[in-house]
Chains A and B, each alone.
Chain A
């Protein structure tokens, strides 16, 4: 094309080049357009629509009409004790649950990285929980944790010779939230394992060998070499699990219904009740936006840490 253009006057060459570029651009836009329309339809439009609902009062059990109420919905959310209780329960799942997943996942990844040939078999086995639908995992743990016929309490009594009286995991307010966390841990720790293992395998072997030659111990290598290199990857893993755990709904719905009392009512479950049981659409939208702001702030904090880490590196 450039050769053909070389023999034409400059203005004509410019005109032909622009026309070709325009055609390329149009083709590119046409290819991207379906995805863009889909994105607008299922993400941007609902987001804008929900934002508009946050300043409206709409009780669908009464009437489909919506009334402008300004920031009243946000004021009600912030004054709602049940909302804060749900946030507290969710924070427990997020902070404690993700921390345990990180430690356990990293530990398992370190172990697996030492294994040679059979590593892929072990990784496949560890990944089975991740491949199971959360609903199935929920039902499974509903049986496992059952006080009367669940295997967990049976094992505890058998191993302790009947000396230990295990709790009614899902029916005790002190253990119910932990039981939900346990189900989540079982299913998603392998995800963290996979993230960290991939990071470990990208570390240069020469670097580790050089450290060994210099007399670094295992733990020195771990803290001074592996962790700093893995940090960006770990941060991404934490962020993903954080956002997922924040949305915990299915396990609560299946295992406890938010009970006993309100001990396992998470923010996602409470939002669901307001939206799909009470049909208070404006209030639900306001609650959803408060959660969105929380998630954005936390994500920004983690990404800032990652950026700082990369600059130092």
Chain B
């Protein structure tokens, strides 16, 4: 039986232990933050009265900014509570809360293809009045600096601004420059194909170069004996976003999702050829490529297993990080391969995913929520896109004009080459489907692309099935309404030069 003094001592010790471990845990959880660059000029919002702002987003490195800038939020009298949802589950988690009207979120992070659904159904607050508020240094996120596709497609619906971009996703071509520049490899390629070894200009070249670099353990690569199998290329071939890697090929061949009257054109002969190219490319990929999502595809490249990939534009940042990458300093970026149309090679780069932040229409603290959203979308945006601590990609002109922000990560020359590669890719941008029902159209295309990749359907059968399902989805959504929205979307895509 413990005496009362012993009980008091034990309780005190226990409390101290709990306090220390909690603080230590908190310190650990905070982690490092990128260095403040002071390039983007702004002022913080006037101090709120200790309000809590609930922020929802896909779990992982892209929610780290809310940790990085905790002090900034504290100065604004705002406590940010971050709610993580799975990457593939963003739509259903947020839509469920909106439909149920729970008011669980103040700031919502979502993929911009959902803006038609969320803004169109009144779940989001229009931000135009906030943007025009004075003083501009506090409230204006300088939307004119956001690159047009990331502003017009990602942020607007029905002529109003509902969201602010925080991640400008676009596909770029990333490759091992050390292999392409190796003299022995160049000579061998020339001997085999009678052409110079260079980053592939077309998707047919992509297959050739991929086959060339696919080697077995024990073979030579760039003068060194391989200790494991090496592969020419890899794809995002897992269910979820494999359709985007197909559309990189199809869009460059002139394929569009629908014609002007929403008749699906996704099963044209050009589209079938594009899907066949993607199926053929799997011969040059690791044997488990059908299980490759973002993480696996990124790791296959930065761990030195694959010679070239098409990926989101944050992967070169990861490739430059010596904590994760085995190929630091060996990476270059460029335009995606294209398709010869007439005498020209047309290049297109899908813009899948992306991220925007918006204020929920039923938020009880809309002013504070807007301040949080604007802080991550503008005030600290350069720090966020230039660090390997996040997967956020450049989307503003100012992000492309400051290679010194990226230099500590990848070196000055590589930083300039990275930004030059981005500037080449951005005009090739090809949009995802943005009209209501986007999740259904995408799922149907992704399922059948994946079935073709898995050998369960031929490319023709797969895309015919997509066309049939898309018609059914359009009817379910209301054909007349969808046609009108699609025509508006087409007009804006053409005005932005994203579709010809």
Chain A 133-166 near chain B by CB (<8 Å), digits 1 or 0 = 0000000000000111000000000000000000
A50-91 residues at the B interface, CB under 8 angstroms: 59-62, 64, 82
A165 nearest in chain B by CB position? B287
Please state if B240 and A278 are interface contacts (CB–CB under 8 Å): no
A273 within 8 A of B: yes
B447 within 8 A of A: yes
B286 within 8 A of A: yes
User: How far is the CB of A33 from the nearest CB of chain B, in Å?
Assistant: 27
> B476 to chain A: which residues have CB within 8 Å?
59, 62, 280
Segment of A186-194, A238-246, A260-268 engaged in the interface with chain B: A260-268
User: How far is the CB of A34 from the nearest CB of chain B, in Å?
Assistant: 25
CA distance A64 to B101 in the complex (A): 12
Please state if B443 and A257 are interface contacts (CB–CB under 8 Å): no
A278 contacts which of B88, B291, B300, B440 (Cβ < 8 Å)?
B440
B323 within 8 A of A: no
> A62 to chain B: which residues have CB within 8 Å?
436-437, 476-478, 481
B99 contacts which of A64, A167, A172, A280 (Cβ < 8 Å)?
A64
B83-125 residues at the A interface, CB under 8 angstroms: 88, 91-92, 95-96, 99, 117, 121
> B454 to chain A: which residues have CB within 8 Å?
173, 259-261, 263
B43 within 8 A of A: no
A171 within 8 A of B: yes
Please state if B290 and A172 are interface contacts (CB–CB under 8 Å): yes
A117 within 8 A of B: no
Given contacts A147-B288, A259-B290, A262-B456, contact A273 B450 (CB under 8 A): no
Chain A 261-296 near chain B by CB (<8 Å), digits 1 or 0 = 111000000000100111110000000000000000
CA distance A60 to B92 in the complex (A): 11
Given contacts A148-B286, A173-B454, A257-B88, contact A60 B239 (CB under 8 A): no
A170 contacts which of B91, B291, B447 (Cβ < 8 Å)?
B291
B453 within 8 A of A: yes
Please state if A171 and B290 are interface contacts (CB–CB under 8 Å): yes
A256 within 8 A of B: yes
> B289 to chain A: which residues have CB within 8 Å?
171
> B237 to chain A: which residues have CB within 8 Å?
171, 260
B158 within 8 A of A: no
Question: Mostly helix, strand, loop or mixed at chain A's interface?
Answer: loop
A76 nearest in chain B by CB position? B472
A-side interface residues, number (CB < 8 Å):
29
A105 within 8 A of B: no
Please state if A171 and B478 are interface contacts (CB–CB under 8 Å): no
> A256 to chain B: which residues have CB within 8 Å?
238-239, 291
CA distance A148 to B455 in the complex (A): 22
A61 contacts which of B287, B292, B440 (Cβ < 8 Å)?
B440
Please state if A278 and B443 are interface contacts (CB–CB under 8 Å): yes
Please state if B443 and A171 are interface contacts (CB–CB under 8 Å): no
CA distance A280 to B237 in the complex (A): 27
B451 nearest in chain A by CB position? A261
A245-260 residues at the B interface, CB under 8 angstroms: 256-260
User: How far is the CB of B282 from the nearest CB of chain A, in Å?
Assistant: 10
CA distance A260 to B447 in the complex (A): 9
Please state if B291 and A262 are interface contacts (CB–CB under 8 Å): no
Q: A: which residues have CB within 8 A of B?
A: 59-62, 64, 82, 146-148, 167-168, 170-173, 256-263, 273, 276-280
Apart from A171-B292, A172-B288, A261-B447, 18 more pairs, CB < 8 Å: A59-B476, A61-B477, A62-B477, A147-B286, A167-B287, A168-B286, A171-B290, A172-B287, A173-B456, A258-B239, A258-B447, A259-B450, A260-B237, A260-B290, A260-B450, A261-B450, A273-B443, A276-B92
Of the A-B pairs whose beta carbons lie under 8 Å apart in the complex, a sample of 19, sorted by A's number, is A59-B476, A59-B477, A61-B440, A61-B477, A64-B99, A146-B288, A147-B287, A170-B288, A171-B290, A172-B288, A256-B291, A257-B238, A257-B239, A259-B239, A260-B453, A260-B454, A276-B92, A276-B95, A277-B439
